[in-house]
Structure 1
């Protein structure tokens, strides 16, 4: 004879790993307004971008954790950015971009493209800042 159970219990019986996965890594929330309203030449913009990339990769890439090291390299290179040594930032973002492109597929393409955009913004913003004339306040 059948028994009546709650829907949540049924889902857990059917696929117990799925429930745990969604609790640990919820789907990323990507908002164009959030992305384009930040200044990526400042540290808080860079930290936002790296955390958003982390959110995306944490959800879409469960089997490989190499991206965590690459994301820390990007954060470190951006924090220690020097106009004379911009190759370090370019190399760090390039490595993470290559990794993202390898992991990109038809299902996660939109989110991964947002991660690539954030990396471009991190890489290009310090150069843009260099060309701005200094403003005295």
Structure 2
């Protein structure tokens, strides 16, 4: 998938799931060179937990992959934006690989269903589900 298509997919996720000010900031930064993507701070998403499209995930990666909204996508190719403390970059990989193992995202965003479902991943191990549909149930 071309880089411009991956950028557009992430911008659609930001626009559909984040408040306009944050979505605009993230989309603008994504328009710059990858060296500027380190300014995309996933931790800012946590300031919007009261927003209807943002919810914190407190379970494990395995529980997330088993959750109703994510189970069907575990083997699907997703768009990954590594930013912040990671070496900034865009890639496509299986959702399962983006969450588990050596290729897991340390800090960044994952677009699972373009413009509808994704994740914000913070370097301290926190995850927020970004969904413009119903909220993902809490992990047990």
Q: TM-score, normalised by structure 2?
A: 0.33
Higher helix share: 1
Higher strand share: 2
